[in-house]
A = this chain, B = another copy of it.
Amino acid sequence: MEQQPPAPPGSAPADAPLVDVSRLQQVVAQFARERDWERFHSPKNLAMALAAEAGELLELFQWLAEDESRRVAQEPGTAREVRDEIADVLLYLVRLAGVLQIDLDEAVRHKLAANAARYPVALARGNAVKYSRR
């Protein structure tokens, strides 16, 4: 039986999680509990709040050309706003996953596998299958 080659130094083990938000999940759960907000945090309401924050993120980019959007992190004012809106989306996403007891690491692994099957490298490179609806 062949031996497994040693992992390169500093590399993660093969089964290390892709996503670890367990500590954030605890923090946001406590944040809600302390404020008596649990009754507002139904999955329905949290999905709305997440989408509303995604809308605020959109707003930061809506009038920018694509190239301008690539440089947004270099404008101190906008960079903070972008980081804040991305954080808001992530906070509601982690809260929603917590309320529904969804394992985010499992969820992204399942979706990545589905995406890999749907967009094989050869096909995707060849004709940009996903992007050419035309």
Which A residues are closer than 8 A to B by beta carbons?
Answer: 12, 16-21, 23-24, 27-28, 31, 34-37, 40, 42-45, 47-70, 72-73, 75, 77-78, 82-84, 86-91, 93, 96-97, 99-102, 104, 106-108, 110-112, 114-116, 119, 121, 124-125, 128, 130-131, 133-134
Contacts and interface: CB of A to CB of B under 8 A. Distances in A.
Q: Interface of chain A, helix or strand or loop or mixed? A: helix
A36 B82 contact: no
A65 B49 CA distance: 14
A114 B88 CA distance: 11
Most buried by B among A17, A100, A121: A100
In the assembly, how many copies of this chain are there? 4
